[in-house]
Amino acid sequence: MAYVSGAPDVHVTGRRIVATVIDGFVLGLAGGFLSQLFGFDFGVSGWSLTKLSSGGNFLLLVVAILYYVLMEGLLGRTVGKMAVGIRVIDGETGASPPGIGKAILRTIFRVVDAVFGYLVGFIVVLSSKRRRRVGDIVARTLVVRGR
């Protein structure tokens, strides 16, 4: 892990953005796979907002929650974080992975961070001394550079 003044390097905002895009792509692929497997129609069908599939969207929501909780809780990183060389650590102990409990908190608060296309999370990260989004603050985690 790279250190700045003895502390973990938390200045990874650009990498976090790229990781989020990659994770969105991974979850999109998972959605496409589940759609083909179960015949669900995820999201907008024919660009009509009146044709949303609640069953398929619920299944994708469960998959997304499990993806973030298990990957970050057990490995400290998602596929996107692996690709850009960052990981989640326990902000109090420095341990990685942070554990399932902290990963659940981070994931629950993605709802807040994701408002306006992750604009809330982005603003909070930029204005936070330790570069933490709301989910990181609540879970007491950090995203740091390191493989």
How many CB atoms are located within 10 Å of the residue 39 CB?
10
- The reported pLDDT for the residue numbered 47 is 42
Per-residue confidence band for 36, with pLDDT thresholds at 50, 70 and 90: confident
Domain coordinates in residue numbering, the chain: 3-145
Please name the residues in contact with 132: beta carbons below 8 A apart, sequence gap of 6 or more.
Answer: 10, 91, 124, 125, 141, 142, 143
Q: Are strands 7-8 and 86-90 parallel, antiparallel or unpaired?
A: unpaired
pLDDT in tens, 39-76: 765 554 444 444 445 566 778 888 999 999 999 999 99
- Distance separating alpha carbons of residues 127 and 23, to the nearest angstrom: 24
pTM metric for this prediction: 0.83
Structure-block tokens of residue 31: 């959605």
